[in-house]
Structure 1
Amino acid sequence: MAEGLRFEHVTISLGPERLIALDCTVGPGEVLTVMGPSGSGKSTLLAAITGTLDAAFAMTGRIRLDGHDLAGLPTEARRVGILFQDEYLFPHLSVGANLAFGLKPGVTGRAARRARVGAALAEVGLAGFAERDPATLSGGQRARVALQRMLLSEPRALLLDEAFSKLDTGLRAQVRALVFDTARQRALPVLQVTHDHSDAEAAGGEVMTVG
């Protein structure tokens, strides 16, 4: 049963300085926005969730996803998807091959993989784009491909690391709506870190300020 993303008395410190203190649950389909300036610990919190926290930082407490303690699990076993401000599409691969990279190992056979990729593209209005070069895509198309690649890995939570900061105003609203609507439809808890108040307003939900 989906229980969401739970922070149990989580603190993250750098030496004597405590950067983050969090004790809450982000339920399925809900969004928690963490706001603050650069260096305030926002990305450090994401690293703690994904299992990539630098050894210079100390964390106490527990992070649970759907009731499972994430401590000690390798990054790939945590079932957490993340979107960055850059899409990080592989330039040497087609759009379809980029999406296929996100498929879980259990999806075997060329036909089955092609079908999953085709369905993912159609879902965001990009049917027929599988053979396209990522360099030919618009900013909005690139953002949609990055979202679908992440979703094909079947995450149980979504992290947004300044994910909309490089998009212009009109496109930003469109992509934000797509991401938040998709998270609600799939009952994914979302943790968004940003320094932009409009991102928090678009997400709704609780806002935590750090730094």
Structure 2
Amino acid sequence: MAENGLFLDDVTIALNGQTLVSVTHRVAPGDVLTVMGPSGSGKSTLLAYIGGFLPPAFEASGRVFSGDIELTALPAEDRHAGILFQDPLLFPHMSVGGNLVFAIPEAVKGKAARAALAETALEGVGLAGMAGRDPDTLSGGQKARVALARALLSSPRMLLLDEPFSKLDANLRGQMRELVFSKARDGSLPVLLVTHDEADAQAAGGAVIRIGAA
């Protein structure tokens, strides 16, 4: 489902008549567009609009395409956005492996096949053999890796990153940036990152759009 870029076609988001975001930009497969701004500037609303979960208080216009597919014409569940937030948001009542299997598309049949995919995904983020673990027993960095593996297993068209590195310590932030962006490149996934951290933008290496007050 990858291989297609992401095109933001005159996307404008406003609140109470005040424009927060206005952008036209093409993100090639494997590239990163970083949207920077202070807290409350509205940068996360862009991810919400693309993902299909923008709160009704906001007014939005413009179209978003994945290849030839107009995502903004589809319900959220059909847009296939892989999303990472500040918190990993793992299901506490499921094992690590259960969290991953939950994300695998229904087209993949068979319990053994789905479990094998989950294990391969864990190996890919350096967590081989941890499928049976309770998420609560993992470190913050390990939880972030599981969240990444889960997003990648969902066969996303794109990755939407809402400050996913902000709660990690400095060393882990560097490791996770490298892992996330390399996985996106390997999977030819266009990435939209929102952050207020200049180091995130530098690590992403792509175009940067700045919104809100400096």
TM-score (norm 2): 0.95
Secondary structure, counterpart of 1:130 in structure 2: coil
Secondary structure, counterpart of 1:63 in structure 2: strand
User: What's the CA shift for 1:138?
Assistant: 1.5
Query: Which residue in 2 is equivalent to 1:160?
Result: 161
Query: Which residue in 1 is equivalent to 2:24?
Result: 23
User: What's the CA shift for 1:3?
Assistant: 3.4
Query: Which residue in 1 is equivalent to 2:70?
Result: 69
User: What's the CA shift for 1:153?
Assistant: 0.5
User: What's the CA shift for 1:20?
Assistant: 0.7
- 2:115 corresponds to which letter in structure 1? R
Query: Which residue in 2 is equivalent to 1:104?
Result: 105
Secondary structure, counterpart of 1:122 in structure 2: helix
- 2:104 corresponds to which letter in structure 1? L
Question: How many residues are paired up?
Answer: 211
Offset from partner CA, 1:55-114 (integer Å, 9 cap, x none): 221112211112211123111100111100100111111111011111101111111111
Secondary structure, counterpart of 2:164 in structure 1: coil
CA distance in 2, matches of 1:114, 1:16: 49
The range that moved more, 121-130 or 43-52, is 121-130
8 Å CA contact 2:4–2:189 kept in 1: the answer is: no
Cα RMSD between the aligned structures? 1.1
8 Å CA contact 2:4–2:157 kept in 1: the answer is: no
The range that moved more, 67-76 or 39-48, is 67-76
Q: Which runs of 5+ in 1 are unaligned?
A: none
List, as ranges, runs of 4+ consecutive aligned residues in structure 1 with deviation greater than 4 Å. none
1:20-99 matches, within 5 Å, as 20-99=21-100
- 1:137 corresponds to which letter in structure 2? L
8 Å CA contact 2:13–2:60 kept in 1: the answer is: yes
- 1:138 corresponds to which letter in structure 2? S
CA distance in 2, matches of 1:20, 1:39: 12
CA distance in 2, matches of 1:72, 1:8: 13
Offset from partner CA, 1:102-132 (integer Å, 9 cap, x none): 1101111111111111111112221111111
Secondary structure, counterpart of 1:93 in structure 2: coil
8 Å CA contact 2:37–2:43 kept in 1: the answer is: yes
Offset from partner CA, 1:169-202 (integer Å, 9 cap, x none): 0010001100001001111000000011110011
1:169-180 matches, within 5 Å, as 169-180=170-181
Query: Which residue in 1 is equivalent to 2:117?
Result: 116
User: What's the CA shift for 1:2?
Assistant: 3.2
- 1:93 corresponds to which letter in structure 2? M
CA distance in 2, matches of 1:90, 1:3: 30
Relative to structure 1, the CA distance from residue 113 to residue 3 in structure 2 (aligned partners, 3 Å threshold; closer, same or farther) is: closer
CA distance in 2, matches of 1:174, 1:100: 25
Q: What's the % identity of the aligned pairs?
A: 59
Q: Which runs of 5+ in 2 are unaligned?
A: none
Secondary structure, counterpart of 1:19 in structure 2: strand
CA distance in 1, matches of 2:16, 2:140: 40
1:117-136 matches, within 5 Å, as 117-136=118-137
- 1:12 corresponds to which letter in structure 2? I
8 Å CA contact 2:84–2:147 kept in 1: the answer is: yes
Query: Which residue in 2 is equivalent to 1:194?
Result: 195
Secondary structure, counterpart of 1:25 in structure 2: strand
